[in-house]
Structure 1
């Protein structure tokens, strides 16, 4: 494209300057707040580095306009893999028309077989360690409509884990397809906002600590005058307070503990290299065991946070679990909420709307209820005597151990792993409560 054409569109759109790819199909414009460096120019993509004082670090952006044929898109997927090899820890975001879908649910009114196409696109996304940013603001997920009425989500935003470190609040909005057969994508990003203090949650990594069971036993053996469910509730509440203190003062910070273990093993290796005495060999083995324990603890931490139950034991990939956690935080964040005829977007407005809704819900006078037809609740004539029979210890134990250890915690913050790991200490009170 000539400089005249660039200048013309910059003036029309209100930007300082811009550039296009070699095919003239992809355009990028920016204002005086940015400095943009061209890194890669191809028929299906335009890859640039962006530097701005508005961001905490430089990032790279890959604009995409994929071809229609699968063979040509394979060239694009391989280009993405080449870019990934050069990215390192640089924040990376990519967007545009990928001319492909990731899921069968991302299309409608089509019967063609797209499984190979989806597999190749998904393989590229996985190989490049990218995540789909999702979308909001539209009645459907489709971003493209053909003249025949075929609907597909061909346009999307992808980013890597480093992008979420830079801008963890990233929202993609599908705008209206008024002027085009494609929906424009509006990307809004912000740094992390303050989060309220987290409620208590039993951490699976705690059971690896040598003093964990001692803490549970001390709290559980402390006298309690209550009985049944009240007794179990009281002991769990006491243990919660003790574990919170113990986690802060004894268990310590997971990542600092790992750093200390890594430093200790380096020092032990250095000493052993200088003097290969039995004592130094034992110290090295001890340091190695401590580091292995810290790595297992860190893996437990990220795996529980990611709520990933399908990864098999032994597949240590903390980077993968970490990326899942950051993606969940971004997806679970409420960016906007409907309040009457208004759409609220600011965090304070959303909070006030929630307080207002539940205040009215819980304080307004309840309407009078209609008379209940008791015949609807009549039970057939059967022997229900077994329903009132007290459950045996074995039945209760089978029920507790039948729950997956990675299941989500209950309202009190304790997961099934706690009951399974400490069963010999707490079984009497649990059975009495049941």
Structure 2
């Protein structure tokens, strides 16, 4: 059973055994978004949940929020007691988050407080203008909050790469359980931050594509031309260390190089030295 405010209309998009997905429509502003409320049952059935969410990602258009109980964690820091967390148990969940282009909003109450305070600030104007200004202001405040509390995502990814390199060297010298656990925790943390980095880059690319419109075709072809230009060989060094250029000359030098590399010269094998070795097996042994 679902209850909602009279200012909203809710339509069921999918009633899955492990999630309920709704399209929410604000009547006044005409703003639409989707919400999926998840309740995962057992580990062996979670793959069905992930596949369903992946299919929804291909169908839904506009903002989409997924919340609820997945019955799995992304990293060991989310677990306080019990058995040690293993990264392999989280990989399917992490892959689902990545395929759906989702970012973990965390579990701090401060995020919701920022959204609530920003949204309740008064703005004068038409409904569409109020909605546009509130979204713009909220995006600015969330960006500042993200930088102050989560830190720079791209810097964090580079920092984790360095930490993993150190941890791998330590584990090679001493493969103790604690060193392995530390390394796995860093791997999980790296995957989480790389997913966030991926999501940010994809969102930026999507915005640029939508803003660009027809000019994207021109941009796409310019990118292809630049890649071809960088990949083009203008000159190379031959076997004598001399620079050569022109397509036909470079082609002939490449053919000579690989002919020499894969063709063995005729060799005369002299096995006369074998006569100096005393035989260990006689005719009777044979």
Question: TM bucket by the smaller chain?
Answer: 0.3 to 0.5
**Greater helix share, 1 or 2?**
2
TM-score, length of structure 2 as denominator length: 0.42
